[in-house]
Amino acid sequence: MKLLLISLLPTTENFGIKYIHASLLQQGHQSAILFVPVHDPQVKKPLRAFIDSYRPDMVGCGFMSYEAPFASSLGAEVRESFPHIPFLAGGIHPTVAPEECLEYATMVALGESEETVLEIAHRTDGGAGLDDIRNLVKKDARVLKRNPLRPLIDDLDKLPFPGHFPPHSYVYHKHAILPMHLRLFRKYTRYDGKAYNIISSRGCPFSCSYCCNSFLSRLYATKRIRRRSPHNVIAELRSETEKFPEIILINIHDDCFLAHSREWHQEFVKDYKKWINRPFIVRSTPLHLTEEKIKILKEAGLAWVTMGLQSGSERINRDVYCRNVSNEKFVDATRLAKQYGVSGYYDVILDNPFEEERDVVETLSVLGKIPKPFQLQLFTLTFYKGTDLYRMMQKKMGEQSTLTIKNYFSYRPTFVNKLVRISPLIPSTLLHYLIDHRKTRGAQTLLAHLHCVIVIAVEPLSYFYLMLKGFNYNLLLTLKIALPTFKTKIRERLMSFH
Ligand code: B12
Ligand code: SF4
pLDDT of residue 402: 55
pLDDT of residue 142: 85
Distance CA 137, CA 130 (A): 11
Tell me the CATH number for domain 2-158. Answer: 3.40.50.280
Which atom of ligand 2 has the smallest separation from the CA of 205?
Answer: 4
> Which of 57, 64, 382 maximizes ligand 1 atoms within 8 Å of its Cβ, making it the mutation to test the pocket?
64
Q: Look at residues 363, 365, 391 and name the one whose alpha carbon lies nearest to residue 378.
A: 363
Which atom of ligand 2 has the smallest separation from the CA of 214?
Answer: 5
| Ligand 2 contact via 43 beta carbon (within 6 Å) | no
| Ligand 1 contact via 61 beta carbon (within 6 Å) | yes
What order of strands is seen across the sheet that includes strand 375-380?
195-198, 249-252, 280-284, 302-310, 343-350, 375-380
- SS3 percent helix, strand, coil of the chain, rounded to 5, is 50, 15, 35
Instruction: Write the CA distances from 279 to 273, 282, 303, integer angstroms.
Output: 10, 10, 6
Q: Residue 311 C-alpha to ligand 2 middle, in angstroms?
A: 14
Residue nearest to atom 1 of ligand 2 (CA): 206
pLDDT of residue 284: 98
| Collapsed DSSP state (helix, strand, coil) of residue 285 | coil
Closest ligand to Cα 92: 1
Q: Look at residues 327, 291, 336, 335 and name the one whose alpha carbon lies nearest to residue 308.
A: 327
pLDDT of residue 498: 38
pLDDT of residue 485: 79
Closest ligand to Cα 195: 1
pLDDT of residue 1: 95
Alpha helices (runs of H) in 386-497, residue ranges in sequence order: 388-397, 415-422, 428-436, 441-453, 459-470, 475-496
Q: Are 470 and 304 in contact (CB under 8 A)?
A: yes
> What burial letters (b/e) apply to 97-129, b meaning 16+ CB within 10 Å?
bbebbbebbbbbbbbbbbbbbbbbbebbeeeee
Instruction: Output the pTM of the full model.
Output: 0.95
Equal fold, 2-158 vs 189-206+238-377+409-496: no
Backbone angles phi, psi at 29, to 5 degrees: -90, 165
Distance CA 11, CA 67 (A): 13
pLDDT of residue 180: 98
Alpha helices (runs of H) in 171-307, residue ranges in sequence order: 182-187, 212-219, 230-243, 262-271, 291-300
Closest ligand to Cα 226: 1
Task: Name the fold adopted by 189-206+238-377+409-496.
Answer: pyruvate-formate lyase- activating enzyme (3.80.30)
Domain boundaries, the chain: 2-158, 189-206+238-377+409-496
pLDDT of residue 483: 87
pLDDT of residue 490: 67
Residue nearest to atom 3 of ligand 2 (CA): 255
Residues of the chain with pLDDT under 50: 496-498
